[in-house]
Amino acid sequence: MNQHDVAEFLKNHPEFFNQHSDLLASITLPHPHGGRAISLSERQMMALREKNKSLESKLVELVRFGQENDAIVDRLQRWTRGLLLLRNARLLPDALTTSLAEIFAVPAIELRIWEATDDYAELPCTAPVPVELIKYANRLGTPFVGPASDGQGAALALLATSGIQSIALIPLRRGAAPESFGLIVLGSPDVRRFHGGMGTEVLSRIGETASAALTRLLA
């Protein structure tokens, strides 16, 4: 009989220790954090305490995530409310980027729109952009997040801030249109701020809200 056979026997006969309670009391095991021997029941209590500690840690983490999500939702609502209250469309691009930078603590942000009407031709956000940047934005099905690299050189060039290590690119579209009409570029000197492993749901919502607001400037 090997260890597997013993384990299977005890699993299939849970009444064994009820019938041999004296054996259960006499069994000792090595202490997991020391050399002394402890009883089986004491070892089970230690295992339960360790499991409870692990569960408490997970619960604290879940609460923290919930609080962070609530804070994000609150910031999104405040940002959206500000856009809805703005009546002058000419002030919209600057208000959108300024409030976005403040509420979400983004150190560098730029907005470009390449389908605005001539009425807004003097706005900085309608300045010409390279054709390759437009094509790149059209290929973005979801926001891009990751380290700043040559692959996003045209977008990175829009940011006046030096030392940018990570960026997020949010394409702007009319509803479900396949082609974009603009792009929001977020940059940070922290390489971990925007990374490939992070979710993009919040950035997508920002893009949807910004797109809806900025359609007032389009032809």
Per-residue pLDDT reduced to its tens digit, 70-99: 777 888 898 999 999 999 999 999 999 999
Task: Give the CATH number of the domain where residue 173 resides.
Answer: 3.30.450.40
Domain count, the chain: 1
d(CA 19, CA 71): 57
76 domain-assigned:
no
20 domain-assigned:
no
4 domain-assigned:
no
136 domain-assigned:
yes
161 lies in which domain range?
A: 86-217
d(CA 164, CA 190): 7
154 domain-assigned:
yes
75 domain-assigned:
no
One-character DSSP codes across 83-128? HHH---GGGHHHHHHHHHHHHTT-SEEEEEESSB-GGGTTSGGGS-
9 domain-assigned:
no
Per-residue pLDDT reduced to its tens digit, 130-165: 999 999 999 999 999 998 876 688 898 899 788 899
49 domain-assigned:
no
Per-residue pLDDT reduced to its tens digit, 31-54: 555 556 556 566 667 777 777 777
pLDDT at residue 160 in the model = 78
Per-residue pLDDT reduced to its tens digit, 176-199: 899 999 999 999 999 999 988 888
Helix (H), strand (E) at residue 72 = helix 40-85
pTM over 0.85: no
